[in-house]
Structure 1
């Protein structure tokens, strides 16, 4: 009787721990940074870390601050050239190398083409 209870508890504990591991998402540590859009061409987006070195651009540049625990800050310039800061969330699918930003209930998905400490190249999905 004690053996069967112990076996049940062991199986239940293993199931619980395996579920915990499934829910954890891994992501490259290089993602956690402040990224400035340097170039957009078709659906290709190039972002760089340390974007303050970029020259000024008419209409401004979008800045994405990717934080730990899935938090995201996006800064854009409004029509009066004042920065508009919005909060959102991000997720990363390591199997598909897909990065998703959600700001104001709008979701944008990108495939990560290249990621280094200084450069992030993305390709927007067809959605």
Structure 2
């Protein structure tokens, strides 16, 4: 089973889209610990990505993060939520090469990615 979360907008309180429903991240953090955990990963990523772009002097006005959580179906049948892996796609309105460069630098600097690199696939999203 897949669970997809999209984040975009201001990194301090981005808009979150889940199954077509939009809310602010601050509203959804209050929904409970599972939501808080699932949102914290893409929230950290959008914040770190914007920080890294600014540090590198790359202008990014629009940043979006799409996180796809792949759940373990056998455990889900037992009512247990276990994440097999996560695919995270990052979009920035900068040049494609700059985006690829930022994603590579991100992989070397983001604590969440460094801690969970065996579970997270991080990709630049290019149209």
TM-score w.r.t. length of structure 1: 0.28
**CA radius of gyration, larger in:** 1
TM-score w.r.t. length of structure 2: 0.28
Q: Per chain length, whose mean CA-contact separation is higher, i.e. which structure has more relative contact order (CA < 8 Å, sep 6+)?
A: 2
Structure with greater proportional strand content:
1
Structure with greater proportional helix content:
2
